[in-house]
Amino acid sequence: MSAGKKILWMLIGVVLTLVLLCGLCVPLALFGSAFQSVSAPSPQVSGPGVALVRLEGVIISGDPPANPFVDASAAAYSGYIVKQLKWAEQNEAVKAVVLRIDSPGGSVVASNEIHQQVAAMNKPVVVSMGELAASGGYYVAAPADVIFANPDTLTGSIGVIAQFLDLSNLLAEYGVTATTIKSGKFKDSGSAFRSMTEEEKAAWQSIVDEAYEGFVKVVAEGRHLTIARVKALADGRVYTGRQAKELQLVDELGNLPDAIRKAGELGGITGEPEVIEYREPFDFFRQLLRMVQPSDPLTRLINALGHAQKPILQYLYVAP
């Protein structure tokens, strides 16, 4: 057999091996995902401790998707955050909770779900803010017993936003038109295929204003401030940790270790508290498939447009 044929057969063998591996990985990953335990983990602790719950990334409703091709690590899913808080509440070894927040906020509904659980906790809750704890990230922090921020944390951004794409001019440039059959004049409000009318803008503004009033009330109650005082601060801007402390939006300047020590004190723990952190079990096949999933610009654009088409209210800090 010639050298060229040998190389060809070697290449064919490599391709077939890769195809076989991929074929095995998909069902195994799906099988593993289907049987993942949803019960509370049982961390090994030797004494009273402080539970550390991390809220990192954009706040999204529900639980992380079972789909192994979806990377859930860059988002804070309200269902999973609430589960961790409930696990900490039920664990007798846990005497207090530290909620570590590094988030620009996100869904109004998801933020409210986490906020309600934080407010319902019978154990002390101390918030530790990281790089960013803005909008919904601040909303969930408001009812905590003590809020720590790094001096250079960006926080605040108290407000509500709803954004809609208008692609009508772009589509018209390429001769693309859309025909919409609807039952009422507001049925396609926010459609990317046309500009919003002034009446539609007014309707959405009333929805945003209602959610804004709810945000202001949550901050006023959590921080023991008047509504007027909060509204004077709640124009959507972010504040540094130093500024937030002066404005009574946070209690202390410090980092995660400071928040853990404070939580230990509030929980009646003598000495250095043990840290208890809940984590989902590592799924090798899920991580492997995430590494090989396509990430071309067209796919990212389609995903972005699909997300923008969802008319949801957001407590979200939109960075310039």
Q: Which residues form the catalytic set?
A: 135, 187
Contact 87, 280 (CB under 8 A): no
Query: Of the candidates 241, 247, 278, which has an alpha carbon nearest to the alpha carbon of residue 131?
Result: 241
Cα-to-chain-centroid distance, residue 182: 34
Who contacts 309 (Cβ-Cβ below 8 Å, separation ≥6)?
Answer: 165, 192
Who contacts 84 (Cβ-Cβ below 8 Å, separation ≥6)?
Answer: 51, 53, 278
d(CA 266, CA 233): 29
Strand partners, 228: none
Who contacts 274 (Cβ-Cβ below 8 Å, separation ≥6)?
Answer: 45, 46, 47, 48, 49, 50
- DSSP one-letter code for 39: S
